[in-house]
């Protein structure tokens, strides 16, 4: 059985289910997978550089990258693919054979997750909260799901402006909105998207006033720990279609496994096993 040494670099990742997902996929497809959680305890470039070099020295086949290193990681990549070049961030690094190769399975995973839940329904006009690493991936992915306009809000105005400019450079419609425009923009939107860490178990809460939910068609929250965030609960209570953080987590994991092994896993089989193993009971997670 071929060994596969994988890991995840990020902050506050102790509850990640990525190790089980990749070990389960390894079991299905004949790989002996180890998957280590690597939290540098800091969020700066030097901390990421040191951790990445440690993984390379220890012979890791590849690793996933999560908050807050998705944009930082691009600086240490030798061979970015088209998704990384478009998005400007990476969440999946292939380390074998010397060079650091990168893709962005948040980008592909969001597209697959959205279509798994909503089919061909267009995303329409979207309000997106958060312009960080996952926000960049989702922003570009939205336009492959029928988005017509992307309104971006982030407390880091410079980051939001940079993302909007990058999206417009690809020929898509995007603009940055202010805090004063949030309510009006939310009510006019077809979709509400949370790509901030607010709602994560380490940073609980909801990034949008619950009173602003209602009248939209759908909502997505990139947070998946916990599975049922306050953001998704408010959206569900308002009657919106739900694309959950779990949808993104699962589909990006399937795509990352392909990067690490060259195998396109059967997502339906893997999802069924995952739900059974964790006895997942969630309004937002369904076996399709």
Q: Supply the residues annotated as catalytic.
A: 70
How far is CA 183 from each of CA 16, 129, 177, 211, 221, rounded to the nearest angstrom?
A: 33, 12, 11, 9, 18
How many helices and strands in the chain, by DSSP H and E?
10, 12
| Dihedrals phi, psi of 215, to nearest 5 degrees | 100, -15
Residue where the block lists tokens 């389960």:
24
Tokens of 211: 């009173």
Query: Do 32 and 61 contact (CB within 8 A), yes or no?
Result: no
Residue 25: exposed, middle, or buried by beta-carbon count in 10 A (0-12, 13-18, 19+)? buried
State how beta strands 92-94 and 62-65 pair.
antiparallel
């Amino acid at each position: 059985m071929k060994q596969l040494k994988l890991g995840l670099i990020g902050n506050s990742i102790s509850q990640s289910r990525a190790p089980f997902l990749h070990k389960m996929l390894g079991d299905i497809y004949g790989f002996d997978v180890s998957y280590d959680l690597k939290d540098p305890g800091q969020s700066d470039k030097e901390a990421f550089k040191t951790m990445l070099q440690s993984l390379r020295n220890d012979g890791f086949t590849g690793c996933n990258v999560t908050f807050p290193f998705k944009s930082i990681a691009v600086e240490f990549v030798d061979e970015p693919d088209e998704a990384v070049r478009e998005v400007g961030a990476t969440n999946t690094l292939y380390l074998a054979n010397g060079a650091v190769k990168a893709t962005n399975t948040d980008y592909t995973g969001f597209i697959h997750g959205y279509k798994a839940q909503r089919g061909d329904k267009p995303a329409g006009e979207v309000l997106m909260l958060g312009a960080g690493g996952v926000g960049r991936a989702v922003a570009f992915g939205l336009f492959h799901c029928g988005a017509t306009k992307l309104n971006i809000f982030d407390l880091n105005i410079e980051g939001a402006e940079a993302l909007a400019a990058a999206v417009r450079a690809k020929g898509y419609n995007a603009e940055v909105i202010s805090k004063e425009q949030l309510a009006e923009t939310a009510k006019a939107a077809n979709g509400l998207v949370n790509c901030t860490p607010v709602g994560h178990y380490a940073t609980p809460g909801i990034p949008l006033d619950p009173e602003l939910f209602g009248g939209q068609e759908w909502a997505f929250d990139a947070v998946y720990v916990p599975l049922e965030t306050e953001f998704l609960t408010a959206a569900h209570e308002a009657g919106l279609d739900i694309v959950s953080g779990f949808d993104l987590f699962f589909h990006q994991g399937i795509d990352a496994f392909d990067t690490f092994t060259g195998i396109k896993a059967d997502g339906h089989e893997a999802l069924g096993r995952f739900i059974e193993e964790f006895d997942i009971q969630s309004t937002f997670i369904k076996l399709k």
